[in-house]
Structure 1
Amino acid sequence: MKGELAIANILKKEETDYLFCYPANTLIEAAASLGIEPIMSRTERATVNMADGYTRTMSGKKNGIVVTQTGPGIENAFSGVAHAYAESVPIFVIPGGTANARLGQSPDFRSSEVYRPVTKWSDRINQLDRIPEMMRRGFTYLRSGRGRPVLLEVAQDVAQGEFDDSKLNYEKVKFNKTAADPNDIRKTIEMLLKAKNPVLYAGAGILWAEATSDLIEFAELLNAPVLTSNTGKSGFPEDHPLSLGTGGNTYTKAVKVFLDKSDLIFGLGCSFTTNLASIGVPTGKTLIQANVDEIDLNKEQQLDHSLMGDLSLVLPQLIEELKKQAGEEARKGTGNIEQEIKKVKDEWLDEWMPLLTSNEAPINPYRIIWDFMNTVDRSNTILTHESGHPRDQTIPFYQTVTPRSYMGWANSSQLGYSLGISMGAKLAAPDKTVAAIMGDASIGMCGMDIETAVRHKIPVLLIVFNNHVLSGYSVNYPKATENFGFTNLYGEYAKLATALGAHGERVEDPSEIIPSIKRAQEVMNTGKPVLLEFMTKEENRLCRG
């Protein structure tokens, strides 16, 4: 068999369902011959984004596979891979590569070298008989420790060369996980039991470890409130009485109140980084951090204690030790913490309810978020946001109830990311409603890939806030805006969606928000994607406590 077919056979052994790809790459045809479906987008960036969303929704149990052309194809894919790297998503990128005999002849884009800063491992298959070894190494990197992209460039002569079938000795790569040092576990529980007001801060590590049920048990035994980062949103149910909600660039009032009140903050699978994805922790607190690796330890502040391991193993260790030190029920149900959280939440929602239920026209975006949340079955919905105001307005108020029901992101904030990851998520979870909330700036970055959703029958819902402006930017560009209209935008995006084969509606009356969402659900049940274009006001009020 040819080298490309050997690689395709390995992908089949790894239970690959889809190849997220753009031609030309002969691996696409080899994989298709084995029943692996090619999903072709309009741009390589969207190709990578789809693999990203697929992998997220699968919690890394299956990895999105990206295949591109050598040269321009893999050059175009860079932003998507960089974004997956920032968000710690383990995708496998397999571009074509220059033939060994032509290395060094300009132009020669060596992706295995260029991509090293944005991959966990980046290398090149330079010999036919190394195909099983290098593919095995790639999947091992994906399934050990922190997940991040892996790239394996395939030299043209390797792809087209004759591979000895008898050497295809390959078994599916297992996942490698580590538990924490028992002494670190013991000390962590001692510190938590001495604290008067501990807070648990959960990040994306909870989702990758699929450890939500253990986190719930641990929080209840400790009787401690829980917040999540933007990227960890849905890792702890936000209708739970111990939930404070989400803390990112914007955050709930409960997050601010209880972080300020805390004397100890225990980070579980979070970075303790102050950025768009996660609220920074106040100074003067005792800090404990549990992570799968050392990358985020001792960053912005000195830790008082740390432990390293996969949370799927670490949380059961913590639960066992907590019961050992404090009894089978530990602190479960003691004190008034749940009542305190409810009081703060109720007061906060009362403050924001005029915007969440506003009858303004143009429509207030908070009303759209509120009506969407109260219309869909959140237990069977996956929602994501776009960069900027759509993210900052959605994060505090959309309440998640099940794991992986929200795809939060902001470690990189590239506009246009949401459409690709939504399509990937829908392929991974076809029975779920998948939606993205975006603005009129981001649809300009990704709109042509609506046709990808149509062609592949991927019925996602795009909710576009159209206010004809880059919200919040004019204050930073007063002369550019006043003299040259710098922040002004224009577009009729429902018509764009219709022209590309999707169902598009423009909604101007707030009383039509819920009916339009219900119509969208009916259309998506036929296999067609939907774009709802809501004509909105520029709303610059953001929730920060």
Structure 2
Amino acid sequence: MRGAEAVIQALEKEGVRYISGFAGGGLAPLWEPMRASASIRVFAARHERLGVEIADGYARATGTVGVAMTGTGPGATNTLTGIAGCYADHVPVLLLMGQHPLRNLGKDVQQEVASSIFDGLVKWKGTFTRVDDIPGLIRRAFTALRSGSPGPVVLEMPGDVLSAEAPDEALHYEPVGPGHRSAPDPHDIERAADILVQAQYPILNAGGGALSGGAADEVKELAELLSTPVATTLVGKSVFPENHPLALGLGVYPRSRYATGPALHINRKADAVLAVGNSFRLPNGTDGRPLPPDVKLIHINADPADLNKTYRADVAILADAKLALRDLIEAVRDRLGSGKGGVKDEVVAEIQRARAKWLGEWEATFRDESVPTNGYRAVHDLMQVIDPDKTIAIHDAGGSRGYVSQFWVATKPLTYIGMGGMAAMGWSMGAAIGAKLGRPDHLVVHFLGDASFGMTGMDVETAVRMGIPTLTVVVNNGGTGGGMMQMERPSGPPPAMAQLSGNFSVVAQGLGAHSERVEHPDNLMPAYRRAIQATEDGQAALVEVMIKPMRTPDLPDDWSL
């Protein structure tokens, strides 16, 4: 058996279904076994970065490993942005990197790039140096991808090793299974349970680790047991149903960007905070203000680097979110006694009053009839014509994230895909394709600005070519929103750095997608319905909405009931 055959067979046994990327140096030995594979579908994106971001979206939408591939040289360097995003948000993506033959490495041959470019941006990386190393390195890769706190892995594959032969028994592969999770220290669980039961107003914050760890049921059970209001991070959004009476939406303690009104109000009342699977990353995860001395913090995370990073925890628990919450639920039940606990009407009523006040302040914006419209109305009107239980929404960087993330109501786990740590412009284009691959029974819609579309929009053609019917909503304000609102100031960017142009509905039509441009808000919902129908008929669709530049939500210090 050749090394390349061993790689593909191992991936098949690990359940890999899709590999996205672009053909490049060092990958040629893989083509024959890929063409022969009955279970793996390989396809090209328009750029190596998008290959990684497709795998990223697939991994986030399914909770499984996404796989991408690239050649050496500029192909490898093009993937850095995608890999950095996976690392920042703890997403399990495997990148297969083609490489020159071992005998040529270190000789400054054309397009020589070492896998060391990924140092600091991956959970683990390995290099095939002998053909019989392949099974062991792939086992280590999938163990790292599935165990502990997730993150990307790179496998560097020199072409001569892929072409080398070894006896079949030397390359035999057995899958590693679902991975390994760390259970919490029982003493820490007891201390945490004491704090939560004795607190007057405990709250629960859930991050990406709770979502990727499959802990949605445990978050809901504990919240209802203690009547704790629940807020999430950007990456954790959807782990708790946002139509639940205890839901605050975005806005973890003490304050974080894109916080909702209910979160801003309730956070002031907390005397105990249970943070599960979030990293308190500045500035989106927290604004960094100190915690009041009388507020107790319990922090559960599978990554030791995230514990005591921004805030010193009163109880720091290094463990898997699901395992830790399950033990914590049992410890809390023991303290409350049989039949005790439950959702408190007064807590729910306060959350509902805060939500009504906050949304009421935005109502005029949601229904603004001016032309051009605004990004908030573009999002609000789409929410009126979709089934939230069967839709996956994805935000992009910049203004579109502000328009979507606070106000979109995610009702089930993994129906919202948020990125927070790296925020690459145009990321949602690949993420939407990957999400639709993994969840074909859902409408997958992503929002991005015209500047972001300019960076990655050609991959509408990838969705069209591969029969992946995503819905792209481009909110076009004629440039970079923040720059356009500041370009008249002496300290702002000059107009040539802020203003852009283009009719992207025409571009999408040329790439084979259903496409419309909306210039009047009255036409939004009809255009969305036609685009959704196109996706249901199997065609990728794009709706370009002309909007005016508008600030994303501020966080006033004095917001309260």
**Which TM bucket (shorter chain)?**
over 0.9
Task: Give the drift of 1:264.
Answer: 1.4
Give distance in 2, aligned partners of 1:360 and 1:328.
57
Structure 2 alignment gaps of length 5 or more: none
Match of 1:171 in 2: 174
Contact 2:52 2:68 (C-alpha < 8 Å) held by counterparts: yes
Contact 1:277 1:409 (C-alpha < 8 Å) held by counterparts: no
Pick the aligned partner of 2:142 from 139, 144, 148. 139
Contact 1:228 1:245 (C-alpha < 8 Å) held by counterparts: yes
Give distance in 2, aligned partners of 1:227 and 1:280.
17
Give distance in 1, aligned partners of 2:306 and 2:502.
41
Match of 1:252 in 2: 260
Tell which deviates more after alignment, 476-485 or 51-60. Answer: 476-485
Match of 2:425 in 1: 415
Q: Counterpart amino acid of 1:165?
A: D
Contact 1:251 1:395 (C-alpha < 8 Å) held by counterparts: no
Q: Cα distance 1:21–1:274, how it changes in 2: closer, same or farther (>3 A)? A: closer
* 1:344-387 alpha-carbon deviations (Å, 9 max, x no partner): 11111111111112112101211111111121001001011111
Task: Give the drift of 1:526.
Answer: 1.9
Give distance in 1, aligned partners of 2:232 and 2:471.
25
Match of 1:435 in 2: 445
Give distance in 1, aligned partners of 2:530 and 2:114.
45
Q: Cα distance 1:134–1:535, how it changes in 2: closer, same or farther (>3 A)? A: same
Match of 1:213 in 2: 217
Give distance in 2, aligned partners of 1:526 and 1:163.
48
2:461 counterpart of 1:457: no
Tell which deviates more after alignment, 235-244 or 107-116. Answer: 107-116
Tell which deviates more after alignment, 33-42 or 331-340. Answer: 331-340
Aligned residues: 543
Give distance in 2, aligned partners of 1:320 and 1:541.
41
* 1:429-462 alpha-carbon deviations (Å, 9 max, x no partner): 0110001011111001101111111100111011
2:16 counterpart of 1:5: no
Give distance in 2, aligned partners of 1:238 and 1:279.
23
4+ residue segments displaced more than 3 Å: 107-111, 277-282, 474-477, 479-485
Tell which deviates more after alignment, 415-424 or 91-100. Answer: 91-100
User: 1:401-412 counterparts in 2 under 5 A?
Assistant: 401-412=411-422
Q: Counterpart amino acid of 1:298?
A: N
Match of 2:54 in 1: 50
Pick the aligned partner of 1:126 from 115, 126, 129. 129
Task: Give the drift of 1:199.
Answer: 1.0
Task: Give the drift of 1:272.
Answer: 2.1
Contact 1:122 1:150 (C-alpha < 8 Å) held by counterparts: yes
Q: Cα distance 1:160–1:541, how it changes in 2: closer, same or farther (>3 A)? A: closer
User: 1:97-136 counterparts in 2 under 5 A?
Assistant: 97-107=99-109, 109-136=112-139
Task: Give the drift of 1:473.
Answer: 2.1
Pick the aligned partner of 1:372 from 370, 375, 382. 382
Contact 2:449 2:474 (C-alpha < 8 Å) held by counterparts: yes
TM-score (normalised: structure 1):
0.96
Task: Give the drift of 1:74.
Answer: 1.1
Q: Counterpart amino acid of 1:147?
A: P
SS of equivalent to 1:74: helix
Contact 1:3 1:163 (C-alpha < 8 Å) held by counterparts: yes
Q: Counterpart amino acid of 1:292?
A: A
Give distance in 1, aligned partners of 2:326 and 2:420.
29
Match of 1:528 in 2: 539
2:67 counterpart of 1:65: yes
Task: Give the drift of 1:102.
Answer: 1.4
Q: Counterpart amino acid of 1:10?
A: A
Contact 1:235 1:402 (C-alpha < 8 Å) held by counterparts: yes
Tell which deviates more after alignment, 109-118 or 311-320. Answer: 109-118
Q: Counterpart amino acid of 1:85?
A: Y
Q: Counterpart amino acid of 1:98?
A: H
Pick the aligned partner of 1:498 from 490, 509, 531. 509
Contact 1:277 1:411 (C-alpha < 8 Å) held by counterparts: no
SS of equivalent to 2:182: coil
Contact 1:480 1:486 (C-alpha < 8 Å) held by counterparts: no
Match of 2:527 in 1: 516
Q: Counterpart amino acid of 1:33?
A: A
Q: Cα distance 1:151–1:307, how it changes in 2: closer, same or farther (>3 A)? A: same
Q: Counterpart amino acid of 2:8?
A: A
Pick the aligned partner of 1:466 from 476, 493, 500. 476
Q: Counterpart amino acid of 1:136?
A: R
Task: Give the drift of 1:109.
Answer: 3.4
Give distance in 1, aligned partners of 2:334 and 2:137.
45
User: 1:244-283 counterparts in 2 under 5 A?
Assistant: 244-247=248-251, 248-277=256-285, 283=291
Contact 1:71 1:109 (C-alpha < 8 Å) held by counterparts: yes
SS of equivalent to 1:295: helix
* 1:95-147 alpha-carbon deviations (Å, 9 max, x no partner): 11121211210046343222121111112010011111111111111111011
Tell which deviates more after alignment, 172-181 or 376-385. Answer: 172-181
Give distance in 1, aligned partners of 2:364 and 2:465.
41
Q: Cα distance 1:484–1:395, how it changes in 2: closer, same or farther (>3 A)? A: closer
Task: Give the drift of 1:322.
Answer: 0.7
Contact 2:21 2:68 (C-alpha < 8 Å) held by counterparts: yes
Contact 2:20 2:42 (C-alpha < 8 Å) held by counterparts: yes
Pick the aligned partner of 1:158 from 144, 161, 166. 161
Contact 2:470 2:535 (C-alpha < 8 Å) held by counterparts: yes
Task: Give the drift of 1:21.
Answer: 2.3
SS of equivalent to 1:486: helix
Q: Counterpart amino acid of 1:536?
A: I
Q: Counterpart amino acid of 2:418?
A: G
Contact 1:124 1:153 (C-alpha < 8 Å) held by counterparts: yes
Computed over aligned residues only, the root mean square deviation of the Cα atoms, in angstroms, reads 1.6
Match of 1:226 in 2: 230
Contact 1:230 1:278 (C-alpha < 8 Å) held by counterparts: no
Q: Cα distance 1:80–1:490, how it changes in 2: closer, same or farther (>3 A)? A: same
Structure 1 alignment gaps of length 5 or more: none
SS of equivalent to 1:412: coil
Give distance in 2, aligned partners of 1:362 and 1:157.
58
Q: Counterpart amino acid of 2:170?
A: K
Pick the aligned partner of 2:366 from 356, 360, 372. 356
Give distance in 2, aligned partners of 1:349 and 1:282.
28
Task: Give the drift of 1:263.
Answer: 1.3
Task: Give the drift of 1:191.
Answer: 0.6
Give distance in 2, aligned partners of 1:518 and 1:281.
44
Contact 1:259 1:281 (C-alpha < 8 Å) held by counterparts: no
SS of equivalent to 1:527: coil
Q: Counterpart amino acid of 1:14?
A: E
Contact 1:507 1:534 (C-alpha < 8 Å) held by counterparts: yes
* 1:285-328 alpha-carbon deviations (Å, 9 max, x no partner): 32110111211111122211111211221111111111101123
Contact 2:76 2:113 (C-alpha < 8 Å) held by counterparts: no
Q: Counterpart amino acid of 1:15?
A: G
Give distance in 2, aligned partners of 1:28 and 1:479.
56
Q: Cα distance 1:376–1:127, how it changes in 2: closer, same or farther (>3 A)? A: same
Task: Give the drift of 1:472.
Answer: 1.8
Q: Cα distance 1:128–1:274, how it changes in 2: closer, same or farther (>3 A)? A: same
Give distance in 2, aligned partners of 1:504 and 1:466.
14
User: Percent of counterpart pairs with the same letter?
Assistant: 35
Give distance in 2, aligned partners of 1:347 and 1:333.
22
Contact 2:58 2:66 (C-alpha < 8 Å) held by counterparts: yes
Contact 2:22 2:44 (C-alpha < 8 Å) held by counterparts: yes
